[in-house]
Structure 1
């Protein structure tokens, strides 16, 4: 598989209005009705996927392999957060992103995500033992 090259600074933004299903209580990561850290991470990863979506050649995908998260502020149900992912570096098949999650001007979380480029069919064949 020939590795595609991505421009440093590639960016995308996704939004989420916090619902009961997104809370720490619902996700099992705590007992409070605010945006849960696992959902923050999922939102950050979604932003990285969107950033790459238009640029990925057919047959190539990425998977998340590493994340570091600093969840700084609580977000109650009904509030809207947005995650902005920026590609900071490509090291061969490894793609490094910085993601900032905000509610308005408040930084809710900072997340560093690493994804790896791979051949989609080959990955699925290995995953399912084909």
Structure 2
């Protein structure tokens, strides 16, 4: 997935800093979107995935107008309903912007939504 950094993607706009470069929360959102796409092949009808853990190192700043290519590949740690993806972000010059892992859980969509709608469902 390729993204161009805009003013709306900066740390200043997102509130995660005071410099006009790609915000870490926006970068992680792009990485999570890549895992959603990559996880589709692990779900059956009526299932979806939800994020459960993010371990990302943001290594290099990307200015407004810069390009960032984000990828997510399943790791060997695919066990049952737990999926781990190796994520990477590379800038337009081929330099590593970020790397890490994101975990997702396969869930039944309707049961998940019903549980989140019922505050007593967590008890």
Secondary structure at the aligned position of 2:102 is classed as strand
TM-score, with normalisation over the residues of structure 1?
0.86
Q: In the alignment, is the contact (CA less than 8 A) between 1:27 and 1:36 conserved in 2?
A: yes
Q: How far is the alpha carbon of 1:128 from its aligned partner?
A: 1.0
Counterpart residue number, 2:55: 68
Q: What does 1:1-130 correspond to in 2, within 5 Å? A: 14-88=1-75, 89-104=77-92, 105-129=94-118
**Whole-Å Cα distance in 1 between the matches of residues 54 and 107 of structure 2?**
18
Alpha-carbon RMSD across the aligned residues, in angstroms, is 1.3
Deviation at 1:92, TM superposition (A): 1.5
Structure 1 stretches (4+) deviating beyond 6 angstroms? Answer: none
- Contact 2:43-2:106 at 8 Å conserved across structures: no
Structure 2: state its 5+ residue gaps. none
TM-score norm. by structure 2 comes to 0.90
Question: Helix, strand or coil for the counterpart of 1:95?
Answer: strand
Structure 1 stretches lacking a partner, 5+ long? 1-13
